[in-house]
Structure 1
């Protein structure tokens, strides 16, 4: 599988979100709000937790755990990119600032 460039991931994520916005307008007459996007992310993050329990043998989920977990992990990253974009936060700057700050905190 090819490695994803972060800039490309952001661009592709934005295009996918716009396609979902089109579906939302068709089915509901309006786009989801940022709050609805955040709730959808939290729902998927919760599923990551449950699927992790299944992958670790702590929750009986079935034989499709790994593909579902991979999908939800990818989807969670996608949601974070979309939430940052919708709130005018540069996700790359936010990640860099977090990594730098945390590395400094943990340096000995």
Structure 2
């Protein structure tokens, strides 16, 4: 049954268009990013769209943001520090950073 649904999605061109955004939102949710962030509005931390806008011209943004996701950081968005996220692997951090930067 899964193969039939996947084949249908591929045939309609849906897998390439919708799957990455949903997969990365799911990853962000599973890694507790959504506890402090939202895609379009500030929660405790900045919205992902604000982060994407701030780093839109920065070629090293994926690596820099991945590092902040894993190690935490402070001072860029105000006085509230972002805690380290030890549960996030480097590969997942880079995937999350790339997705955040794509939320324009």
Considering the TM-score relative to the shorter chain, is it more than 0.5?
Answer: no
When normalised by structure 2's length, the TM-score is 0.32
Q: How high is the TM-score relative to the length of structure 1?
A: 0.31
Q: Which has the larger radius of gyration?
A: 1
